[in-house]
Amino acid sequence: MPRSSTATAFVALLRGVNVGGNNIISMKSLKTSFEKLGFTDVSTYINSGNILFKAKARDARKLETKIEAMLSREHKLGCKVVVRSFLEMASLIENLPKGWDEDKEWKYNVIFLRHSIDSEKVLESLGAKREIEKVAYYPGTLLWSARISDMSRTTMFKLSSQKVFQDMTVRNTNTTRKLYELMNKMVEG
């Protein structure tokens, strides 16, 4: 598809796709479906539901609704989607804490929040164990880390059993940085 200079770069983060044998979908099929929606410069990154695209629309929430409807209609997937613009991803990457993800004895994740729970108040409901894990709010995300040896005892490890987890999607820091890098190339290209 041709490039559009008036379009904004976005990434759609599909929740729970191709994980544990559930919600299996090919990235090639997803790419085609996104192109049918009128998005341009569509590409995917790894097999866990990361779709980069450009759209003339500017409202990420409306894009989430449009993409979720397509996933249900074309792929029979009821998964939720978090959409972030290039500017939102750039702000996140630029504001990661100094030294974030440098300690190899720790695991680092970025938890992307749907707009329905995007508030610092979400931290209160999680009950993170401060002695073994660190969780910080940044608009649209939670930055979570814990010592690898303590993983099974963390709130993050048990997060999937909480209702609020349905409105989040998790990516490791390496994936998050790579998505930003790919989006940056889209914007420069």
Residues 11-51: tens digit of each pLDDT: 999 987 766 666 778 889 999 999 999 999 999 999 888 99
The pLDDT confidence band at residue 3, using thresholds 50, 70 and 90, is very low
pLDDT for 153 beyond 80? yes
DSSP letter (8 states) at residue 97: P
30 phi and psi angles, rounded to 5 deg: -60, -45
Structure tokens at 95: 């504001």
pLDDT for 5 beyond 80? no
Q: Give the position of tokens 């610092």.
A: 120
Give the pLDDT confidence score for residue 2 in this predicted structure.
Answer: 42
Give the pLDDT confidence score for residue 189 in this predicted structure.
Answer: 74
d(CA 184, CA 93): 12
DSSP-assigned beta bridge partners for residue 144: 109, 135
CA-based nearest residue to 106, from 74, 134, 67, 139: 134
pLDDT for 156 beyond 50? yes
Residues contacting residue 22 through CB under 8 Å, at least 6 positions apart: 16
DSSP-assigned beta bridge partners for residue 50: 13, 45
Are the CB atoms for 115 and 59 separated by under 8 Å? no
Give the pLDDT confidence score for residue 20 in this predicted structure.
Answer: 61
Residues contacting residue 70 through CB under 8 Å, at least 6 positions apart: 33, 34, 36, 37
Are the CB atoms for 42 and 53 separated by under 8 Å? yes
d(CA 8, CA 5): 8
Q: Looking at this protein, which amino acid is placed at residue 163?
A: K
Strand runs labelled E in the chain: 8-14, 40-45, 50-55, 81-85, 106-113, 133-138, 141-147, 168-172
Instruction: Give the three-state DSSP class for 9.
Output: strand
Give the pLDDT confidence score for residue 155 in this predicted structure.
Answer: 87
